[in-house]
Amino acid sequence: MIGVIDYGASNIRSVANALKHLGADMKLATRPAEIARAEKLILPGVGAFRPGMERLQQQGFVEFLLDSANKSVPILGICLGMQFLLESSEEDGFFEGLGLIPGKCVRFQIEGKVPHMGWNQLEHDGSNPIMRGIPTVNSYAYFVHSFHATAIPDSCVIATTEYGYPYPSIIGRENIFGAQFHPEKSQQVGLRLLKNFCDL
């Protein structure tokens, strides 16, 4: 069973529907006890970093996620959920994340429009299992975000995307993965990434 963490993120129903489309056995949970036996976890997210982390803490999910990570349970963070996986964010000052992947979250420093919104390309070499079956050229995903990951070790960068400059758009470390884009809105590329995660 795949546990989908429900802390009030607005995209959670779309994620659940995408998983159902794939035939995945999934369960939405507002408390850790509801998904204590989950074989994999998905942490969706839309919104601001600080209130999101505070809600995770209030619902008991911070300790649960850290404990699950230590038990080698595969975890996928989506959009804001990916940013939670990092050590910290500079959004609304400084706030600590889960620290499951080294790095931090910073605002785009570009002349162009922020947030980065719309379809953009994933650059990857196809070597990571989470990218199986996703073409290394002309693979596009749907993004909506003003902050991005930085200071990520090269070994943890699975894919990059360019918006003013290249930044990590898919990251991973052992059993922990993060996608800055919205797989549930990214058509075949997004569904394939979710399927690959389900099949890990």
Residues with a catalytic annotation lie at 79, 182, 184
**DSSP of the chain:** -EEEE-SS-TTHHHHHHHHHHTT--EEEESSGGGGTT-SEEEE---S-HHHHHHHHHHTTHHHHHHHHHHTT--EEEETHHHHHTSSEE-TTS-EE---SSS-EEEE---SS-SSEEEEEEPB--S-SGGGTT--SSS-EEEEEESEEEES--GGGEEEEEESSSEEEEEEEETTEEEESS-GGGSHHHHHHHHHHHHH-
